Amino acid sequence: MRFRDGQWLVAEGMRVEYAEEVYRITETETPAGKGLSLLCPSKKIMTRGDVLNLSSLSIVCFLPIVLPQWPAPDSHPGHRTRHPRRPLRHHHPLARRPPSRPQLRPLPRRPSRLNLLHHQLRRRHHPHVRHPLRHRLLHPHDFAISFHPSHLPPTKHLTTLLNRSVGLAYSPATSNPLQTADMRNLKHYIFTQTTLGVGESVHGLGERFGAFNKVGQQVNLWNADGGTSSDQAYKNISFWMSSRGYGIFIDTPERVELEIGSERCCRVQTSVEGQRLRWYIIYGPTPKEVLERYSILTGKPGGVPGWSFGLWLSTSFTTSYDEGTVNSFLEGMKERDIPVEVFHFDCFWLRAFQWCDFVFDEDMFPDPKGQISRLKASGMVKKVCVWTNPYLGQASPVFKEAVEKGYLLKRKNGDVFQWDLWQTGMGIVDFTNPAACGWFVSCLERLFDMGVDSIKTDFGERIPHEDVQWFDTAVDPKRMHNYYAFIYNKLVYETLQKRYGADEAVLFARTATAGTQRFPLTWGGDCESTPEAMAESIRGGLSLGLSGFAFWSVDIGGFEGYPAPWIYKRWVAFGLLCSHSRLHGSNSYRVPWTVDEDDKGDEGCSATLAKWTHLKARLMPYIFAQAQDSIRRGLPLSLRAMCIEFPEDPTSWTLDSQFMLGESLLVAPVFEEDGDVQFYLPKGRWTNFFTGEVKSGPGWAEERHSFATLPLYVREGTLLVLGREGERRTVYDYTEAVEVRTYFAVEGTKAVLVDSEGAEVGVLEVGKGGEVKGQEKLKGESVVKVTEVEDIREALTRDPNFSKSKFNPYTNIPAGAPELPWIR
């Protein structure tokens, strides 16, 4: 929303009034603690008469609050964690009315424990705790507030609210205050403008597929089904990260419009329709610290089981399939040595025109329970997922019952809200009705009784906000549009948890809002089968990771269209290095032999998919340990933006076509058919995972890759725990017969060992003399290897009996090499 026409004029049809000075400051007490209330009139008060006939804004700034380092509730079984500092809150309640429900609350995964900490905080004084962030009024009669770290001088501010940066607007423009007596034909907006520093970049705001740096963009936080080639987003998250070491969370689920260096080049403008705006400024100074504190405010990511990291296979969207088709696909994957962990039944497991009434199409699947049982008994797949959505087509026999019992959203005149967008005459399940929730849960439980293990929660974006009446009459329909994603996924996730256990629940969601990271996992939505769409998807995954989401997936090969074999194979390499990996399309299958006419060569689609699936299985000891750390700290596992690991490197804030998998592996997908790729290596020594070649950063590199490799580099100072060579399983004992590689490890370098449930069972650590401590936790024929290429060459020099022909091309370790000294 733009309120001005250039720097000097007000936009046509707008009346804009600003907080012109801070007239009075008073202390205030709120449930969150002490604060300062600022009375800010919309003109400078020079005489006593100036206080009449003008608007004013009330701004409440909460004083910085830091939680002591009390023990936190465990974020995952088997882990004990330290409670990080509580996010610092800066509220802007520009308010004349209380917020309508529902409003996102800062509830953690286990709220009773954290609520107790809040209770203790209000009753205890901790003078020894230094506030890491302060706000400062710059002049008593001007409106200007500066935010700066307390350990730095005030001139080193993070951001400021300067003159004419907080205000209200009417549309259409009013000329007389009497006009505001009737607001039915007036729109009222509240906005703030924080300053953008020189060179500052802005990131996050959900799964956004455009430019990684949002400066220069107009962003509308309003969930929409727009695919990956537009400025619309399935997952709009009202949180953004600055390259200057802070983040801002806008605490509302309603439509938020941002002008990020677009209306004014030097400011980020946040506006909402209404009379109240509240946001939190969260200081890091590192992105990891910002995300960790944000996750305490909105919720830690939920845990996911090890099996979910394996390959998921569907038969795609509009393709025809029955039990025979499913069996033939899984048998074909087994023949080609491609292990499948989860089989997914997409939309047409249901009868046409009856989506989504949870009833299998009996013509195609006459015995669904038996079929699922046979699938699992065959060993070709371990888990089964089905597609659902929160809509109900009028043709379903269940529709009449849902209408009679009030399960569906209504119009204001009492009629059921229906439209033909997606399903003929479909209604929308009203999750503010407890009875509707109970019915939906009972439908899910019938699927679980059949053997279904996971649910794909599709849609939830197209929620109307005009002429609607929710069962809970207190909710604001405009806030429900985005918030619906939260209550929809929450209901399904908690139902899965109740059946399968707290950390065995997995849903596959497309839509999200702030806080939905508690209900993993999500995928990137509908993308085309092009290299450009793959790049769009990467940008979306990076932005979502900077919005507090730990786990993310993508439709490998692209959703729309028919991927060329080379695109499919490049996408396979990228997709198997995402946290989760799924083969899925729209009107064409994604089993590899249908893409390249069953090319049986070493670089055919089948061989390529097998290689990358095997590699991910080998990486599971590292991936699963990193997953637990991501859950605990609120960090993305993959795709992890480079700036999270290397915030001090300005280039890392510009990189939108590569990412980190956890903290130690750099991944640069290839977008060219010939394999040419350019990527950036931050400061330090980086070792090619496949060849052992070492490159030094910072700097750009260019390489050419076959379909069996891509730039996968290991960070200096890493102990990398891998499964045994030839490992095909996703879930196994991650401490037995493993391979531990050291990459320029120094004293203190660590690697956490976890079991197949994610519980920590030990830590490997390089000691002062280069020895590895904690090896007693390793079982079987586990080995520790040095992979620095310089040391291998030295070993070859010392022992001429070794030759390059004896190198294992996969690990670059000389076959039968003697134990080499640890390099510190």
Hey, is 810 helix, strand or coil? coil
Bridge partners of 189, per DSSP, are: 169, 273
Hey, is 380 helix, strand or coil? coil
- Reference 507, options 663, 390, 422, 587; nearest CA is 390
Type of residue numbered 61: C
Hey, is 570 helix, strand or coil? helix
State yes or no: is 461 an active-site residue.
yes
Task: Count the Cβ atoms, other than its own, within 10 Å of residue 438.
Answer: 12
| 329-337 contact pairs (CB < 8 A, 24+) | 329/589, 329/591, 330/375, 330/378, 330/380, 330/381, 331/380, 332/591, 332/593, 333/380, 333/591, 334/380, 336/592, 336/593, 336/606, 336/607, 336/609, 336/610, 337/610, 337/614, 337/728
Residue 622: its H or E element: helix 605-633
- Dihedrals φ, ψ of 113, to 5°? -70, -45
- Please, which residues have CB within 8 angstroms of residue 334's CB and are 6 or more apart in sequence? 340, 380
Distance CA 236, CA 78 (A): 33
Q: At how many degrees (to 10) do helices 565-575 and 605-633 cross?
A: 30
Check 526, 555, 629, 739 and give the catalytic one: 526
592: tokens are 């590899």
Q: Is 98 exposed, middle or buried (0-12, 13-18, 19+ CB in 10 A)?
A: exposed
Strand 507-509 and strand 342-345: pairing? unpaired
- Decide: 108 and 294 in contact? Cβ < 8 Å: no
State yes or no: is 526 an active-site residue.
yes
Using the 8-state DSSP alphabet, how is residue 197 labeled? P
Distance CA 558, CA 596 (A): 15
Sign of the torsion formed by the C-alpha atoms of 582, 586, 591 and 596:
negative
Check 21, 251, 458, 727 and give the catalytic one: 458
Check 225, 254, 461, 536 and give the catalytic one: 461
Query: Annotated catalytic sites, by residue?
Result: 458, 461, 526
